[in-house]
Amino acid sequence: MAQNPQDAAPRRPKTKGPAGGAHAAPVSAAGVIAFLRQNPKFLCENQELLDVLITPGQNSGNGIADLQLFRVEKLRRDLAELTEARDALVVTARGNLAAQTRTHKAILALLKARNFEHFIETLTTDMAVILDLDVIVVGVEQAKDGAASPPAAGVVVLSPKTVDRQIGPGQNIVLRDHATGDPEIFGPGAGLVRSEALIRLSFGRAAPSALLAFGARDALHFEAGQGTELLCFLARVVETSIRGWLDLPE
């Protein structure tokens, strides 16, 4: 014999009231949830309960709440969130691919340099165009013997401790957004700089400290939290090439 849905409802134990009468003990939320999980058709078979329940669905006008609509709306929200995350991932992937392509092109241009002067010119002019930057500078701290003449046009001489002051002791790279270009580093191009990437260069234990500076007029071109692998790799290429051109010991 089929069980009446009304009879399938969770039974509550009877307890004695203050006057000795019996009344039902409260049913816990966990008990209700467990009962509904065991009887998924209970609300369909007892639709009058939906008139007094507050549901997340939309009332169809006849006293029945559309729980299916609630599920559809939830699925739509989940799908929208997934679509937004996918689109952000695609944009990031395309940006990373474009940056990688530009970096490869810049390195090939550096490898074609005929001499050291041509290398520095390519680094500070052609590479700025390839990387869509406004200023690229190689800065070398003043030597301990006091010599202040740059080894080539396009290389600036920095005061002692500038690299540690700008990048931080023990740090190899720093990215700054909404920055103000330092004239000591960027020279006449400092006014164009609104974001910057400064990377430490090492030409050997006996050589003075140096840095490679990238400047952009876009205030968010460089910002903390960006990946720095390509920038650091490019700096290592510049570092190794300069050491080779000048025949510097490691």
Q: What is the pLDDT of residues 202-238, one digit of tens each?
A: 988 788 899 999 999 999 999 988 889 999 999 999 9
Dump pLDDT digits (tens) for 82-105.
888 888 888 877 877 888 999 999
Would the pLDDT of 110 be above 60? yes
Find residue 176's DSSP bridge partners: 196
Least reliable range by pLDDT among 66-70, 78-82, 173-177: 66-70
Q: Do the domain assignments include residue 197?
A: yes
The count of structural domains within the chain is 1
Sorting pLDDT into bands at 50, 70 and 90, what band is 111? very high
Residue 93 lies in a domain: no
Q: 147: domain CATH number?
A: 3.30.450.40
Q: What's the CA gap between 178 and 224, in Å, rounded?
A: 11
Residue 64 domain-assigned (yes or no): no
Amino acid sitting at position 125 = T
Q: Is residue 45 part of a domain?
A: no
Q: Which pLDDT score, from 0 to 100, does residue 19 have?
A: 47
Across 50-68, average pLDDT: 59
What domain range is 176 assigned to? Answer: 113-245
141 CB contacts (<8 Å, ≥6 apart)?
Answer: 157, 158, 159, 160, 161, 162, 163, 208, 209, 210
- pLDDT of 171: 93
* 4 occurs within a structural domain: no
Domain assignment present for 103 = no
175 within some domain = yes
Q: What is the Cα–Cα distance from 94 to 100, expressed in whole angstroms? A: 10
Q: Is 225 left (phi over 0), alpha (psi -120 to 50) or beta?
A: left
pLDDT band at 45 (very low <50, low <70, confident <90, very high): confident
- pTM of the complete model: 0.65
- Would 216 be classed as within a structural domain? yes
